[in-house]
Amino acid sequence: MEDGTAAGVGESSPPRSFEGMVRAVLQSGALGFSGLLAISIWASILVSLAGGESVGVMVRSALSIVSLGLGTGTVALVFLRVRGIGRSYLDFKLPTRRDVGYIVVGILSIFVLMFILSFLLTELGIRTASHSVEQQAKSGNPDILLLFVPLSWLVIGPCEELLYRNIIQKSLYDSFSDYGAVVVASVVFALAHVLAYATGSTPLELAGTLVVIFFLSLVLGTVYLKTDNLTASALVHGTFDAIVFGVMYLQFAG
């Protein structure tokens, strides 16, 4: 939100201190780590209930998405309870006509930015790492990508935006400027993807991928900042992921 205040905070924000900024960064990192931990715990529980090691690739992939929703939801619920705030803190709303404009611009911007970054990395001779889902698809299971297309809109976009924008970015408004909060939240968002891209990649490939994710996250954070509507950034996020998964399916299944 562009006035530099979070929901439930008065019109004028208190002076920002360096200690407060450090504390806010550490809290954001802890929230991001808690999200990963919660997702991992839920994934272990669900896979065990579904049959453990005998679970097939498609079912395991579906359970990973369910775990994402449950994990981010758990962290969000705990955050609200600890802060003593209600569901009104959550910014899921029907998009206004203005919001739709930001959604369209956000989708176009995120693809243009990805193209530019990919071109620059290629010119520098830096390859990007492959996501674990892409690696599974390449290994002979391209159909899992079809599962991820609708779930990008239904689960991945909304749930990741809930944690990294509505919880982490919004909580940073009290300690940073609006765009400072967008930057810090984007750093946390990028670092949260380390495990998803670490397998089979070199440190340079991983670093290049995280840089791309960071800049793409800046678009998502800006859309959320400008609209104050999590639905807007979730639709941009979900549409981006859905198109990427769809294109990958056409490549691998063809």
Tens digits of residue pLDDT in 33-89: 999 999 999 999 999 998 888 888 888 899 999 999 999 999 999 999 999 999 999
Token pair 């453990």 in the structure block, residue = 52
Residues 6+ away with beta carbon under 8 Å from 101: none
Q: At what angle do helices 230-253 and 203-227 cross, to 10 degrees?
A: 140
| Rg over CA atoms, the chain | 18
Q: Could you tell me where the beta strands, DSSP code E, fall in the chain?
A: none
Share of the chain above pLDDT 70, in %: 94
Question: How many CA atoms within 13 Å lie on the side-chain side of 217?
Answer: 27
Neighbours of 162 (CB within 10 A): 23
Residue 15 is predicted with a pLDDT of 67
pLDDT confidence band for 137 (50 / 70 / 90): confident
pLDDT digits (tens, 9 = 90+) for 231-249: 999 999 999 999 999 999 9
Q: What is the mean pLDDT of the chain?
A: 92
Residue 14 has pLDDT above 80, yes or no: no
Q: Give the residue with greater pLDDT, 7 vs 178.
A: 178
pTM score, whole prediction? 0.92
pLDDT confidence band for 1 (50 / 70 / 90): low
Residue 132 has pLDDT above 90, yes or no: no
Residue 140 is predicted with a pLDDT of 80
Token reading at 172: 């940073």
Residue 139 is predicted with a pLDDT of 83
